[in-house]
């Protein structure tokens, strides 16, 4: 049997629109599902994807972690993340898709970082309505496309992100603009950029201009993991993505992730997952 790769989906927009508008799309979920069940196998995107569910059942697996779909949940998925989705009939809400260039202002990008340090948000009914209102306004602007609608959409989207961050952090008794969350987001960005050649806590701490002790305290407080565990888990996640998203040989993946000794990489991966890399690839395909 031929091996299949996890497909990468690109954003699409119908009609002739401006460059800014082409980088963003919002749809009522009923437009996508027609009220029917929907099943999407493993895939990834080259854009950001936010699923806001006022009503829903099913499951959503993101980077090999499964979440239960219920009412009043938000899923925020960054480009490159692997996910698969099962939605029950009658699910209701909004689907937002946008390219990185849609976030033109530094302040908007900062809001996305604060709201998006986790992929899953579960909210109460009152809190959910606060962030649902700007989405209702956005879809009206997106549909009618009156003069200045792009500016209105970007402003409304900023409000949505602020509300999402407020609700997320208030539920954890943390400040919405807390410096630790900014530091964590910076650490995660560095991992994405350097994990293939940098696996020591001290190296990341130096780039962040903090001590290894401070970085460990940060990850323990926010993620309940040591910084070493965060690095390890990210390496495993990247390995899984490569195994399922490419046809590269195990030795190529090991080298990409900074392992010259393929045997060591195989032992490391099996210790963390219970599978050899090839067994994992076959099991999930």
Residue 86: how many other CB atoms lie within 10 Å: 16
One domain, residues 218 and 92: no
The reply to whether 1 falls in a domain is no
- What is the pairing mode between strands 58-62 and 48-55? unpaired
The number of domains in the chain is 2
Whether pTM exceeds 0.85: no
**Cα separation, 142 vs 120, whole angstroms:** 25
**Cα separation, 51 vs 97, whole angstroms:** 9
One domain, residues 158 and 37: yes
One domain, residues 46 and 187: no
| Vertex 81 angle, CA 80 and 83, to 5° | 130
Q: What is the pLDDT of residue 266?
A: 97
More confident residue, 242 or 185: 242
CB neighbours of 223 closer than 8 A, spacing ≥ 6? 184, 230
Q: What is the CATH number of the domain that holds 238?
A: 1.10.10.60
Q: Running DSSP on this structure, what letter comes out for residue 101?
A: G
pLDDT of 19 > 70? The answer is: no
pLDDT of 48 > 60? The answer is: yes
The reply to whether 208 falls in a domain is yes
One domain, residues 153 and 38: yes
């Amino acid at each position: 049997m031929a091996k299949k790769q996890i497909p990468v989906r690109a954003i699409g927009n119908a009609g002739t629109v401006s460059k800014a508008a082409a980088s963003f799309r919002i749809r009522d979920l009923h437009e996508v599902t027609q009220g029917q069940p929907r099943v999407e196998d493993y895939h990834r995107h080259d854009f950001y994807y936010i699923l806001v569910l006022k009503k829903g059942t099913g499951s959503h697996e993101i980077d090999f972690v499964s979440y239960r779909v219920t009412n009043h949940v938000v899923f925020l998925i960054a480009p490159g993340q692997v996910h698969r989705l099962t939605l029950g009939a009658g699910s209701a809400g909004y689907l937002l898709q946008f390219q990185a260039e849609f976030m033109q202002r530094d302040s908007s990008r900062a809001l996305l970082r604060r709201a998006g340090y986790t992929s899953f948000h579960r909210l109460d009914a009152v809190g959910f309505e606060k962030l649902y209102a700007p989405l209702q306004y956005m879809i009206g602007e997106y549909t009618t496309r009156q003069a200045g609608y792009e500016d209105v959409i970007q402003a409304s989207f900023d409000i949505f992100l602020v509300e999402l961050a407020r609700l997320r952090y208030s539920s954890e008794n943390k400040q919405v603009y807390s410096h630790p969350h900014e530091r964590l987001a910076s650490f995660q960005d560095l991992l994405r950029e350097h994990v293939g050649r940098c696996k020591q806590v001290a190296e990341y701490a130096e780039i962040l201009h903090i001590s290894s002790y401070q970085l460990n305290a940060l990850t323990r407080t926010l993620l309940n993991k040591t910084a070493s565990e965060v690095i390890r888990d990210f390496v495993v996640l990247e390995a899984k993505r490569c195994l399922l998203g490419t046809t590269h040989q195990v030795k190529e993946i090991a080298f990409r992730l900074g392992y010259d000794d393929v045997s060591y990489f195989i032992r490391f991966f099996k210790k963390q997952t219970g599978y050899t890399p090839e067994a994992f690839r076959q099991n999930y395909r």
